[in-house]
Amino acid sequence: MSSKPTVGYIGLGIMGKSMAHNILKAGFPLVVHNRGRGAVEELVAEGANEAFSPAEVASQVDVVFTNLPDSPDVELVALGSGGIIEGAREGLIFVDNSTIKPATARLIAEKLTAKGVLALDCPVSGGDIGAQKGTLAIMVGGPEEALEKVMPIFNVIGKTITHVGESGAGQIAKAANQVMVAAQMVAMGELMILAKKAGTDPEKVVAAIQGGAAQCWSLDVKPERLFAGNRQPGFKAFMQAKDLGIVMDTAREYGVPIPAAAVHTQLFDAMLQMGMAELDNSAVIGVLESLAGTGLLDE
């Protein structure tokens, strides 16, 4: 019998599938569930077991992870009919890697705690590359005792694990993260289109500024893909827009003016209206290309 805790993973999208794969590869017994069959079959072929509802996952594991699109999805999977709460036993640890509203994270934690379940809101950052390499930043809200128990699993999927505070604090940190990510993506697009329209080689401009004060993750990772004409995700634009909606809702809740983030939210919303919802968040440059009348790769 394995000495490692049995782990459940629900939500096997671009990020979740890679994270589940790394957990399995590290030797943790794994039970998976997902609406789509492809990722489930792939992980089962690697040695995972399949369950057919969130409750069934919860009943078989010591720690259950979720990685789902939005707040209502997590609430349904955690608390709804056939949800984790129905299969949970006392001592189960719930870890949510989704990006959701802080208020929803607190509600779920409250309901699960009443059932004897320890709940952590643990959104992640680092994109598909970080998920594949196991180098994600993990922002943790919830009880420290639960974090200590799942730290061996976190060390498999992440490089930087920070306990931010009580329930909901991880989601506040992720909202702050998405303010910066959106700003970087927009600024990167603006500087590239500025260079292009001013008659300068954008690739050389990026090379010139990457080692200076403008250095950031986005400039390190994204330009090579954009210059190659690759705007596939990565992190999908509609998810970035959803996250910025959470940012704006949270800012309103606490009375915080965030004028630049508001403009960035409009640009990502424009991506959706222009048919770019499934592209990478760096493809926000497409909105700027339209406004400037100049394409990054135009001759």
Fold of 173-292: N-(1-d-carboxylethyl)-l-norvaline Dehydrogenase; domain 2 (1.10.1040)
Amino acid making up residue 196: K
- Can you tell me the mean pLDDT for 178-189? 98
pLDDT at residue 3, rounded to an integer: 85
CA distance 265 to 118: 34
Domain boundaries, the chain: 7-166, 173-292
Catalytic hit among 17, 101, 174, 196: 174
Q: Count of residues for the chain? A: 299
Average pLDDT over residues 17-26: 98
Concatenated DSSP letters of 278-292: TSBGGGGHHHHHHHH
- Does residue 1 carry a pLDDT above 50? no
How does DSSP assign 29-48, residue by residue? -EEEE-SSHHHHHHHHHTT-
Taking the model in full, what pTM does it have? Answer: 0.95
Task: Encode 215-237 in three state secondary structure.
Answer: CCHHHHHCHHHHHCCCCCCCCEH
Percent of the chain with pLDDT over 90: 99
Over the chain, what is the mean pLDDT?
97
Instruction: Give percent of the chain with pLDDT exceeding 70.
Output: 99
pLDDT per residue as tens digits for the range 74-110: 999 999 999 999 999 999 999 999 999 999 999 999 9
Q: Report CA-CA distances (Å) from 3 to 38, 60, 88.
A: 29, 15, 21
Token reading at 97: 């890697």
| Partner residues linked to 120 by β-bridges | 95
Q: Which of 10, 12, 11, 13 has the alpha carbon at shortest distance from 234?
A: 13
Residue 2: pLDDT over 80: no
Task: Report the pLDDT averaged over residues 257-261.
Answer: 98
Average pLDDT over residues 198-224: 97
Q: Is 174 a catalytic residue?
A: yes
The fourth-level CATH superfamily of domain 7-166 is: NAD(P)-binding Rossmann-like Domain (3.40.50.720)
Instruction: Quickly count: other Cβ atoms within 10 Å of residue 40's Cβ.
Output: 20
Helix (H), strand (E) at residue 57: helix 54-60
pLDDT for 191 equals: 98
Query: How confident is residue 190, by pLDDT bands cut at 50, 70 and 90?
Result: very high
Give the integer Cα–Cα distance in Å for 261 and 186.
10
Of residues 112, 81, 76, the one with CA closest to residue 95: 112
Rounded-to-integer distance, Cα 10 and Cα 8, Å: 7
Looking at 64-168, list the stretches that DSSP marks H as alpha helix, in order from N- to C-terminal side.
Answer: 71-79, 84-87, 102-113, 127-133, 144-157
In whole angstroms, what is the distance from residue 150 CA to residue 92 CA?
11
